[in-house]
A and B are shown apart, each in its own frame.
Chain A
Amino acid sequence: MTLGAIGFTTPWLLAALLVLPILWIILRAVPPAPIRRRFPGVALLLGLKDDDTVSDRTPWWLLLLRMLAVAAAIVALAGPILNPRQTAETQDSGPLLIVLDASWASARDWPAKSELLDAMLAEAGRDARPVGMMRLSNAEPPVFQAAEAWRSRLSGMAPSAWAASETTMTDAANMLGSDGFETRWLSDGLDRTGRDVFLQALEDRGPVTVYESPVPIIALKPAIVEDGDIRITGLRAVAGTPRAVQVEAHGRDPSGISRVLADLTLQFQPGDLEATGLLSLPSELRARLTRFEIAGQRHAGAVTLTDDSLKRREVALIAGREDREGLELLSPLHYLEQALEPTADILEGSLLDILPANPDVVVLADVATLSVAEEEALLDWANEGGMLLRFAGPRLAASDVSRSSESPLLPVRLRAGGRTVGGAMSWGEPKQLAPFSENSPFFGLTPSPDITVSAQVMAQPDPTLSERVIAQLSDGTPLVTRKRIGAGQVVLFHITANAEWSTLPLSGVFVQMLERLAVSSTLALPDLSELQGTTWQPVQVLNGFGALNDAGTLPGVDGENFLQDPLGPELRPGIYEGPDRRLALNVLDTETVLQPATWPADVPVLGLERAPETPLGGWLLAAALALLMADIVASLALSGRLIPARATLSAILLTVMLAPQSADAQSDLTAEEKTLLAASEVVLGHILTGDPQLDQTAQAGLRGLGETLYFRTSVEPDTPVGIDLETDELSVYALLYWPITPNQPIPSAEAYAKLNTYLRTGGMILFDTRDANVAGFGASSPNGQKLQRLAASLDVPPLEPIPQDHVLTRTFYLLQDFPGRHTGRGVWVEAAPPDAEQVEGMPFRNLNDNVTPVVIGGNDWAAAWATDASGNSMFPVGRGFAGERQRELAYRFGVNLVMHVLTGNYKSDQVHVPALLDRLGQ
């Protein structure tokens, strides 16, 4: 039975409401019971009559109160439920399969989906239904098990950065088995091929309900460079009302911290599926871009990564001889300038002036001899990845460079004088280019037969020559040779850069060759032929939410697959590194069209918002109880037993107890006063998280620790201080305690700069996730995830779980465990240097000479330390004596920590004791 949004489990109990009028009459006739009082003055009262006799009946409002209480109790027992199960979900027994698209498009609504999923699982758990779960982006045969088992794994589920392809859909349809079940499909709202097959397979096995968000998805196509501007295209699935979206261009600022460098508003016109905008950025800024992202969308499709293709290369052009005025076409650099101008920034000047600017490419046109300083500088630069492009010419041909032994800055040894073919004084025709071989970077280009070479420098035949040739003439003589220098390379064109020796610089092939050499990089994607046989190694990959993560140990991808395969677990969107360059693989490519999903009419489609089934019985019972309490007070008042003075007093007491705690006195201090206070004493600081209760606990914890230090050691800390990272000076604090909550704000870049300075100059931060779950480095708890995000911009050295012989275990007390309110064992400190070794006869290694800048744990130390103003512990720890022992150990850990900060590795120096004794003369 349902009444509006409220259903009842045992509606017949409501019949008891009929008794209420009878109860009314009975209760009405019964006056409140009298009080017996001793009163000597009764002799004077004898014979006095009461004026009216009406009040021997219970007053109507008291009756109403009691009636309401009884009615509430009756209704509560009838089991009212708010928002009882919808009719669309027909079954409440039998196995249930939950299908998740789990694609990038699901990421935006993932919190809502998790909530819905949780509610469904809770419900299925109540109905004792076996539940199977299937993620289409990563399809596996469904395993039906108890809902609670799934529920515990819910927090670890995340959407993938790719979507199911047609083959995976078909595979998934084949995995379903033969048994019937009810299906609930949490769709991402996008259509894809293969969906119908899968849906049909599901419908064959039972009813299907679809849940999807009605809000259409917005995504971003890869950014393209167009006439020096960046063209950004937004895409939406449903053409609807006009809408403006904000696109943020993220990149690294000069200090290397990722931040928004520029933004752009894309305006979707009504009825349009696409919106484009042009972003014009200075090349300096453009080179630092890492990705574009639609603000507030938070899914991988709203992110497009940039690779080298966006950067304008900086090319330094250096010629061996001065330009002769007026003879531009004869200038050795003219054609290079023409070829590079549209796509690259050209630097000119002397070599030693330009190299510190770290250009991507240095072009030396007919430069024969370099000074020793120049040569060394060039070598260093090339070793770190520079590309040196050299052109031959009369000077190089005439010089002795690389004649008898190979010059480090030339790929081959050269024969004296070079050769001329097809000239007035020589035999033969000018030579043409031979087709490019397979291992040449130019493979795939077709040299036009018009290109002729009439003069060149000749390479000496050497054992290494053949592997260094990447282009040759039709008679087999090398035309372009290449040699690797460290991470960089040197490429020699055996001809001049102008049209003196050949017509190559006049042709389009010359420009393409420069592109292939990545001298100028305007190409969007390499074509298939170029990628054959190459392997692309993922460097960073996107997760479903559009965050870039380290690729870790993901395997490399073959070049062919890289271009052709759909995205999937083997080919994740991200940044890939190939032989010569980095490529970004985005979720959407330039041809993608988003198509909204359409469902057959017999499949009910529900929204993600599903009002949860709320049993109201408990609340109603509580209300009945509250009404009865009110009845007690009212009856007391009516019969005169309620003494006004006492009632007022208790009311005041209650108010005082319930009143919010007064604000922390220290928050009134200005930043300067805080700094002064902290500079004049040893002061422990805690980072203000914005959660008042947590901040109070941290304050009380450090106060308790301070008291302990005061009583037990010669450290006498002053009152601890709450620190606002944005405004306060950090250098005066010995130790910062940083409790983590999922909601605290990420500090600004300036605050991070301050924190990094603090860490580098000997400060220590104790991170506390307070969830006792840091052993797995916290990826599964919200606090742990927050910690990772907070610490991402911090200059934290490599960490390791605290080793047994770490100096923290003996700076004051000898400790092996570091419990707080929890007893998690995972406490992480800076890793020992790799060369630290256990020496025979020594209890511990000679470890690093520094104070570890961070200690990370999750044992909620502040709560264990916390004392109120009178020194009583504020939170219980453990049970009984063992708990007190644990608290004592927590204090000892705190003492050790402060001692470690203040005395450094002093206790570690005991390793030298035997040597000192030895030196003392025994």
Chain B
Amino acid sequence: MSPIAPLRAQAETEAARFPALLARAEHLAGTVLLGEHGRKRSGMGDDFWQYRPVQAGDELRHIDWRRSAKSDGQFLRQREWQIAQSVTLWVDGAASMRFSSDDAVPEKSDRARLLALAMAILLNRGGERVGLSGANLPPRRGEAQVERISMALMHEDSADYGAPETTGMLSHGRGIFLSDFLGELDPVKKALTSAADRGVRGVLYQILDPAEESFPYRGRTIFESVGGTLAHETLKASELRDRYLARLATRKDELQALCTATGWQYGLHHTSQSAQSAVLWLYNAIDGEHHR
């Protein structure tokens, strides 16, 4: 059998997953009602904002004659100022994300992709430009971009823990980082600082499995990372629980502190919770950025 055949089969499987992910993301995005990001002031845009009396310095061609004919004064018709944002997503594709503690709970990577794609769809509908860092997808608009993003999300990394990438992030754009942030903290710190330097603000969204929060293990156990590079043996797993949870809390605090320092927002999501609430939270977080 030629080496093409398994590749082809693999590709088919992957391709089969893609519309499903897209459909789920579409479905998820459909639950959020939104308009374009109106700036609540007059400016460039399509939507009517207000009529105002003509002042000195206004060009005559801007006068709305139909409105002015109804009264003695002359009026201008102003449009609402609308501006498109550039949002760059980064989704951790590392091995640590491919973990779920229970059949009933989706893998973290699955949830992260779903959230990323749903956000992409939402933002696209909202008229923003969406891109994917680390995959050479600069922010663009349109359905095609959503498809490109969903294709790019299928990429899986073999490394154990992922590091955020800031390549392709536009200055003063927005960024969304989705990961479990259980690996080294330094790359995260570096990425955030470099992003903040470029005036990019955004959301650091930590996605954790419920088992990672509760550590329900007992007895003699060898813990291995999903990639298999790290291992730790214990004789009484239950004794480790408190210390592990303390470390996890420290990690969360560090991330929070990092975010505060760089002006980002920190969010935490568990795969056992509903994806919809996560999308709403994410959307509000990004949307809120517009109004700052």
Contacts and interface: CB of A to CB of B under 8 A. Distances in A.
B224 A42 contact: yes
Interface stretch (A28-36, A379-387, A529-537, A544-552): A28-36
B10 interface: no
A39 interface: yes
Contacts of A34: 219-222, 233
Interface in A49-74: 50-53, 55-56
A43 to B, nearest CB: 5
A267 B87 CA distance: 112
A50 B235 CA distance: 7
A267 B163 CA distance: 105
Nearest to B212: A41
A809 to B, nearest CB: 61
Contact of A48 (B224, B232, B251): B232
B222 A640 contact: no
B182 A640 contact: no
A30 to B, nearest CB: 12
A33 B244 CA distance: 23
Contact of A640 (B183, B219, B248): B219
A43 B244 contact: no
A44 B222 contact: no
A32 B218 CA distance: 13
Contact of B222 (A35, A41, A43, A50): A35
A879 interface: no
A42 B231 CA distance: 7
B248 A41 contact: yes
A36 B247 contact: no
A783 to B, nearest CB: 54
A638 interface: yes
Contact of B230 (A36, A42, A56): A42
A839 interface: no
Contacts of B99: 38-40
B96, B108, B219, B234: which has the most chain A beta carbons within 10 Å? B219
B52 interface: no
B29 to A, nearest CB: 28
A53 B232 contact: no
Nearest to B237: A640
B281 interface: no
A310 B98 CA distance: 102
A639 B239 contact: no
Contacts, number: 106
B225 interface: yes
Given A37-B217, A46-B230, A51 B222 contact: no
B221 A50 contact: no
Contacts of A42: 223-225, 230-232
Nearest to A43: B182
Interface residues of A, number: 27
B236 interface: yes
Which of A39, A46, A641 has the most chain B CB atoms inside 10 A of its CB? Answer: A39
Interface in A508-552: none
A373 interface: no
Interface string A339-360: 0000000000000000000000
A306 B251 CA distance: 105
Contacts of B215: 41
A31 B247 contact: no
B220 A31 contact: yes
Given A40-B212, A42-B230, A44-B247, A31 B235 contact: yes
B238 A45 contact: no
Given A38-B99, A40-B96, A41-B244, A641 B224 contact: no
Contacts of B184: 43
B238 A640 contact: yes
Contacts of B90: none
Contacts of B234: 45, 48, 50
Interface in B57-109: 96-97, 99, 108
Nearest to B243: A48
B226 A44 contact: no
Given A41-B182, A640-B221, A53 B235 contact: yes
Contacts of A33: 220
A37 B219 contact: no
Nearest to B219: A640
A40 B206 CA distance: 14
A44 B230 contact: no
Nearest to A40: B96
B207 to A, nearest CB: 11
Given A37-B224, A40-B182, A43-B225, A641 B236 contact: no
Contact of A641 (B212, B219, B235, B240): B219
B165 interface: no
A727 B77 CA distance: 100
A640 B209 contact: no
Contacts of B225: 38-40, 42-43
A314 B97 CA distance: 111
B128 interface: no
Nearest to A638: B219
Nearest to A31: B220
Contact of A44 (B220, B238, B251): B251
B177 interface: no
A641 B235 CA distance: 13
Interface in A612-652: 638-641
B224 A56 contact: no
Given A40-B209, A42-B230, A55 B221 contact: no
B240 A35 contact: no
Interface in A691-734: none
A53 to B, nearest CB: 7
Contact of A56 (B231, B235, B237, B251): B235
A35 B231 CA distance: 12
A179 to B, nearest CB: 72
Contacts of A32: 219-220
B183 A43 contact: yes
Interface in B19-76: none
A44 B184 CA distance: 10
B236 A55 contact: yes
B210 to A, nearest CB: 12
Contact of B182 (A35, A36, A44, A56): A44
A38 B209 CA distance: 13
B220 A35 contact: yes
B255 to A, nearest CB: 13
Contact of B219 (A41, A44, A639): A639
A45 B182 CA distance: 11
B148 to A, nearest CB: 29
Contacts of B212: 39-41
Kindly name the residue among A31, A34, A43 whose own CB sees the greatest number of chain B CB atoms within 10 A: A43
A638 B226 CA distance: 25
Contacts of B205: none
B161 interface: yes
A305 to B, nearest CB: 80
Nearest to B95: A40
Nearest to B234: A50
A48 B244 contact: yes
Interface in A177-232: none
Contacts of B180: 40
A33 B219 CA distance: 10
11 contacts: A31-B235, A34-B222, A35-B219, A36-B224, A40-B212, A41-B182, A41-B244, A50-B236, A55-B235, A56-B220, A641-B219
Given A39-B99, A40-B96, 11 more contacts: A31-B235, A34-B222, A38-B223, A39-B223, A41-B182, A43-B225, A44-B244, A45-B223, A48-B232, A56-B220, A640-B218
Interface of B: 96-97, 99, 108, 161, 180, 182-184, 209, 211-212, 215, 217-226, 230-240, 243-244, 247-248, 251
Interface of A: 31-46, 48, 50-53, 55-56, 638-641
Closest 9 CB pairs of A and B: A640-B219, A640-B218, A40-B96, A639-B219, A34-B220, A39-B223, A42-B223, A44-B247, A45-B232
